A and B are shown apart, each in its own frame.
Chain A
Amino acid sequence: MISEAFQPKILAFCCHYCAYASADLMGSMRIQYPPNVRIIRTPCTGRLEVNFFLKALEDGADGVLVAGCMEGGCHFINGNLCAKRRVNHVREMLAEIGLEKERLRMVNVSAAMARPLADLIIDMVETVRRLGPNPLRTSTPASESETHS
């Protein structure tokens, strides 16, 4: 069955001040987490823009995880709340586009939450595994994109 064999590729945008530190702590604590996740460090989840999520999914990522600070604990005061609104906006857009909105998820952790972060990653991997491969990865290759301004 494809659901058992399928190894999703998931991009995880991790805030430098919390989730990335937690991911580091996961390593120090020898906590295992699925190798399906590719971590990208960001200065703050508030840096992430709508087209980052769309581009990741367009280019074939099976899922995108945004991991920011606990609400009220953002190093830049409200960057994670900006990210939350953008993620919700893109989830609505994904439904319009015809892609499952569950492929994009935001979670909140502190820098000391290594175990909870591992559990959140495992849950994301399982969710995306149930959804199956991103249909954009297997459909017609992406058309040429030219950008001028």
Chain B
Amino acid sequence: MIVAQRKTVPELMEILQGHPRLLVLGCGTCVTVCLAGGEREVSIIASAIRMASRLRGQPIQVEELTIERQCDNVFLEQAAEAIERNSAVLSLGCGAGVQALAERYAQKPVYAGLDTAFLGILEERGIWTEKCSSCGACVLHDFGGVCPITRCAKHLLNGPCGGSRPDRCEVRPDRECAWQLIYQRLKDIGQLDRIKKIAPPKDWSTSLDGGCRTIIREDHRI
């Protein structure tokens, strides 16, 4: 899922200057699961904005709403009336949600209330870890299901670097060495010979290259 975290209240107050009526719009998908932008967080951030704006002498009237998914036009329709009656929208969706809103409601200022962080999973209560860099050309099959691009601090495709001690990353000792994990996993599934394969330089044209990436599926178009 997409993992995000809230911006601080002073940051939000700076962003929201000059908007007397504000809609705080939550998203019921990824950011609800990572406890950053669901219905409860909408209530918390709306309350914080109301209090902070009153204390600064410029009270903001805040309306709260949470829709199922901000990155989908079908669900964005449900927020149309609420967006109409407010002077700005503070989206607690991920970066995709914020941009979907801004495109759909061209005349309305839309601001991001969260910092979208990464694609990851919940490790344990309150701890999320990045697992995927969405590089556009997955190599997990070669590395026992452990991503060296995301989880190795040096993004090495031909590791290990030689600095791990003994299963900890030398860059971040609080992290496991991805290459130790890859070795252990390949050994466990009887595919240790895969580690001998030399990986060629990765083609990064499928990643952060040439602007936003697009997928067109002719079989699904009408």
Q: Which residues of A contact B (CB under 8 A)?
A: 49-51, 54-55, 57-58, 93, 96-99, 135-136, 139-140, 142-149
Whether B62 and A58, one on each chain, are in contact in the complex, defined by CB atoms closer than 8 angstroms, is: no
Give me 26 A-to-B residue pairs in the complex whose CB atoms sit less than 8 angstroms apart, sorted by A's number: A50-B40, A51-B43, A51-B44, A54-B48, A57-B51, A58-B50, A93-B9, A96-B48, A97-B48, A97-B51, A97-B52, A97-B55, A98-B55, A98-B56, A136-B51, A139-B59, A140-B59, A142-B54, A143-B50, A145-B62, A145-B63, A146-B63, A147-B65, A148-B64, A148-B66, A149-B65
4 A-B pairs closest in CB distance: A143-B61, A96-B9, A54-B47, A98-B55
Question: In the complex, what residues of B have CB within 8 A of residue A58's CB?
Answer: 47, 50-51
Q: Which of B48-106 contact A (CB under 8 A)?
A: 48, 50-52, 54-57, 59-66, 82
Question: Once the chains bind, are B59 and A143 in contact (CB under 8 Å)?
Answer: yes
Residue ID in chain B nearest A93 by CB atoms: B48
Interface residue count on the B side (C-beta < 8 Å): 26
Q: Is B10 an interface residue (CB 8 A)?
A: yes
Q: Which residue of B lies closest to A143 (CB)?
A: B61
Residues of B within 8 A of A97 (CB): 9, 48, 51-52, 55
Chain B residues near A (Cβ < 8 Å): 8-10, 39-40, 43-44, 46-48, 50-52, 54-57, 59-66, 82
Specify which chain A residues have a CB less than 8 angstroms from the CB of B46 in the assembled complex. 145
Closest to B20 in A: A143
Roughly how many angstroms separate A146 CA and B85 CA in the complex, as a whole number? 12
Q: In the bound complex, how far is the Cα of B43 from the Cα of A88, in angstroms?
A: 18
- Is B55 a contact of A139 with CB atoms below 8 Å? yes
Q: Chain A residues near B48 (CB, 8 Å)? A: 54, 93, 96-97
Which chain B residues lie closer than 8 Å to A49 at the CB level?
Answer: 40
* Complexed CA–CA distance, A98 and B9 (Å): 9
Which residue of A has the minimal Cβ distance to B46?
A145
- Asked whether, in the complex, the Cβ of B55 is within 8 Å of the Cβ of A55, the reply is no
A51 CA / B64 CA spacing, docked (Å): 13
Q: How far in angstroms is the closest Cβ of chain A from B3?
A: 18
| B9 (CB) vs chain A CBs: closest residue | A96
Instruction: Provide the residues of chain B in CB contact with A144, threshold 8 Å.
Output: 61
Query: Which residues of B lie under 8 Å from residue A146 when comparing CB positions?
Result: 63-64
**If the complex has contacts A51-B43, A54-B47, are A136 and B55 also in contact, measured as CB distance less than 8 A?**
yes
Given contacts A140-B54, A148-B82, 10 further A-B contacts (CB under 8 A): A51-B47, A58-B50, A93-B9, A96-B9, A136-B54, A136-B55, A139-B54, A139-B57, A140-B59, A146-B63
Q: Which residue of B lies closest to A82 (CB)?
A: B125
